[in-house]
Structure 1
Amino acid sequence: MFLLALITRSVVFVACLPVLLLVPLIPGAPYSDVAILATLSAAAVGVSPNWYFLGTGQPTKILLVDSLPRVVAVVASSVLLLFGAPLWISPLFSLLVSLGAPLLAWRSIRRIPHEHPRIALAEIWPTIRAQGNALSGRAVSALYMALPTVLVAIVAPGVVAQFSAAERLMRMTLAVLQSVPNSLQGWLGATLSPRSRRDRILGAILLNLALGVAAGTSYAFLAPWASQVVFTGSVEVTPLLALTGGALVLVVCTSRATGGLGLVNLDRVGWIAISAIAGAVTGLTLILALGSIFKAEGALLGELAAECVVLAVQLFVLNKSLQKLQPEPDIFDLSDGKQR
């Protein structure tokens, strides 16, 4: 299973390279070498083995094969940069960690008795096709998450820095919180009982909702101060931007549970792509419209509306699916007291 997933992820990674390198390879683009390595490094995170160790209940392996090497790479590249090393050293080290992590994981798995993963080449394409719905949903989500800054630059170029600062802080917050739904994947997949599945899905959603409330509130209060520190006073996140961003953090935390946990567990992966498309259409329209009128605050409000549409679609489908999970029959018939 691990080797098959690694190969299919690698195939998708290589297939996406022409699009990923479209901008960095433009003739005359500044720092093209750094941009190419940074692009490859960011994309290579997709082949991370963390999902496997989360699913098998081995979080320590994540520390050993991914997190610790990444920390070492950051420290080493920072030291080298202080001593005059070229700028491309940093993304190169990060790329090496991203590509090395699955190889270290594979070596670790092969050492387990009776665990010798082998696959046939004929399995690769059917597996990619089977994951098409999930892949298309992630692709659409990535697209409309990457475009807002470009759209703001079109309709309100004077507030790009302010909008980017608010969104950057928000994405940093969400990146840290991603570990929570990831860690729940194995817990949700460990149960077969319909009643238990329903309870665990609802529990996971409520947990992420509570996390979103806490994180969103913290963002709303701390983002103006954090922007002064992170961006050295060159740009400020206004209170209204911070409040909108906090609401956005709440909605995204919740949709991570309804989609990536709930719909996946109930085999409704196709609806994740549909919800992403609905959100993309809403977001691209409202960011342009509201951004031209209300500037940075309006554009971020358009993003919030898009994520609300995503969450609404997922909640609708999730509710219908959960209703089909009938509770298990009781062991005793209470009407006559006889055991079934």
Structure 2
Amino acid sequence: MSSPLGPRRGRARKAIGHELVRRSLLFSLSIVLSTLVGVVSIPVLIGQLGDTTWARLAVLQSISQFLAVIVGFGWGATGPSTVASLPDRDRKEFFVTSLLARVIILLPVLVAGTLIAAAIVHIDPLVAALAALTSVAPAAGAAWYFIGTNRPVALFLFDALPAILGQAAALVGVLVAPSLLVYVASTASFAVLGLLASCVFVATRSADGPWRIDRSQALRGLLQDQMPGFTATFTTSLITTLPVVIVKLIVPASALPLFVLADRLSRYAGLVLAPILQAIQSWVPEAGREHIRSRARIAMLVACGIGFIGAVGMITCAPWVAPLLSQGAIAIPPLISVAMGLGFAGEAISQITGLAVLVTIGRSRALALSAGVATVAALLGVLVGTLLLDVPGALIALALTSIGLAIYRSRVALLGLAAT
């Protein structure tokens, strides 16, 4: 008589051996190490700089990440699926053309963003410039290209590793000389190094075609084609950038670290989602049109499962993790942890459905529209919620927006799949 464990083990091995699972595990290397360094940095920076200065740095980094979205101009959203569907001989040309466009955008954005960030955070313009460079340099790099061409090792070496080494060097520098300038100078140096190394790596991949610019389309036309993806990422970035600015302007300085820590924990939880999203973005379209429907439905089921597990983990762990990371300076109450958990669930479903499914089935305009509406709703909700309930109100508003966005994108995706 055969043991019932045999078939179960067989199914387990089959699940682990699934291409989507293997690809997610490979992409997760970058995310896991980046998350570990980021989590370790919280108590170090709070201990060396104080929680108020750390919170100001977080605001500065949020603004810098918003600038990175402008420089990236939507290629991070649409690039992986697009390049995965291209013939190998055309892939490098697609990257080079996008690189030219992003470099042209980078310089004015860096200058203007530095001045704005310095004014908002009340900080040295040099510190603001280096913090901005830390974020915008990778946005001009090849991370999305590595995702779309299924090169997780290259993604780690030329995108994640420079950021990890830069932050590690910055933490050592802060331990020696507690200064924001030392911290951002280290992170910016490694970010630029990573950008240059990624471009050199792509240039040497002969299998991806020649290193040349596609001159069949003017730069203006190229940017117009990118508008749906850019609109989606731009408006989404407003949700991650402006809330902390709004909260900073309304709540007392002593309350800002609570919001910043809750926001950071939510982002680190979101990083768990990133390798799966990266894998799905290339996995859904690459098998051809005849498999898109089945793969898209699997992707949406995966998103729901991740959202549920992540929500439970966030609600359970956030209250005891916060004092540990902040050296007892910050405590997260249960109401905030519930809002964080629900927000993660909505984020998981909306991101995977939007970037991996809607883009693949040609619903990029719905992606952009939903991102725009959600941004307006979130910012108004954060403003009203902060005025009424301080930090809990802001986080509840963000959670409700995330859930609403997930419901809308799932409905559009299901209707689109039914029509294909």
> Normalising by structure 1, what TM-score?
0.86
User: Structure 2: how far apart are the matches of 1:116 and 1:312?
Assistant: 42
User: Structure 1: how far apart are the matches of 2:203 and 2:250?
Assistant: 54
1:163 aligns with 2:259: yes
Aligned to 1:100: 193
The 10-residue stretch of structure 1 (201-210 or 284-293) with the greater mean CA deviation from structure 2: 284-293
For the Cα contact (< 8 Å) 1:48–1:98, is it kept in 2?
A: no
Aligned to 2:211: 117
Aligned to 2:153: 60
Q: 1:228 aligns with which of 323, 326, 330?
A: 323
Other structure's SS at 2:359 match: helix
For the Cα contact (< 8 Å) 1:275–1:311, is it kept in 2?
A: no
More helix by share: 2
- Shift, 1:33, TM fit: 1.9
- Shift, 1:5, TM fit: 2.1
Q: 1:281 aligns with which of 372, 376, 401?
A: 376
**One-letter code of the match for 1:256?**
Q
Aligned to 1:245: 340
Aligned to 1:328: none
- Shift, 1:153, TM fit: 4.3
Other structure's SS at 2:235 match: helix
Aligned to 1:190: 286
1:128 aligns with 2:203: no
Q: Higher relative contact order at CA 8 Å, sep ≥6: structure 1 or structure 2?
A: 2
1:300 aligns with 2:395: yes
1:141 aligns with 2:236: yes
How high is the sequence identity, in percent, across the aligned residues?
23
- Shift, 1:298, TM fit: 2.2
For the Cα contact (< 8 Å) 1:282–1:309, is it kept in 2?
A: no
For the Cα contact (< 8 Å) 2:165–2:190, is it kept in 1?
A: no
TM-aligned CA distance change 1:27 to 1:303, over 3 Å: closer
Other structure's SS at 2:328 match: coil
**One-letter code of the match for 1:33?**
L
**One-letter code of the match for 2:331?**
E
TM-aligned CA distance change 1:199 to 1:241, over 3 Å: same
1:37 aligns with 2:130: yes
- Alpha-carbon displacement from aligned partner over 1:218-253 (angstroms, at most 9, x marks no partner): 111111111101222212110110011011011101
User: Structure 2: how far apart are the matches of 1:154 and 1:188?
Assistant: 42
**One-letter code of the match for 1:162?**
L
Other structure's SS at 2:116 match: coil
- Shift, 1:257, TM fit: 0.9
Aligned to 2:171: 78
**One-letter code of the match for 1:39?**
A
User: Structure 2: how far apart are the matches of 1:248 and 1:55?
Assistant: 27
Gaps of 5+ in 2: 1-93
For the Cα contact (< 8 Å) 2:138–2:159, is it kept in 1?
A: no
User: Structure 1: how far apart are the matches of 2:243 and 2:118?
Assistant: 23
- Shift, 1:137, TM fit: 1.8
CA-based RMSD of the aligned residues comes to 2.4
> Normalising by structure 2, what TM-score?
0.71
User: Structure 1: how far apart are the matches of 2:375 and 2:120?
Assistant: 31
User: Structure 1: how far apart are the matches of 2:99 and 2:200?
Assistant: 13
**One-letter code of the match for 2:184?**
P
Q: 2:411 aligns with which of 303, 313, 316?
A: 316
User: Structure 1: how far apart are the matches of 2:165 and 2:244?
Assistant: 32
Gaps of 5+ in 1: 326-340
Larger Rg: 1
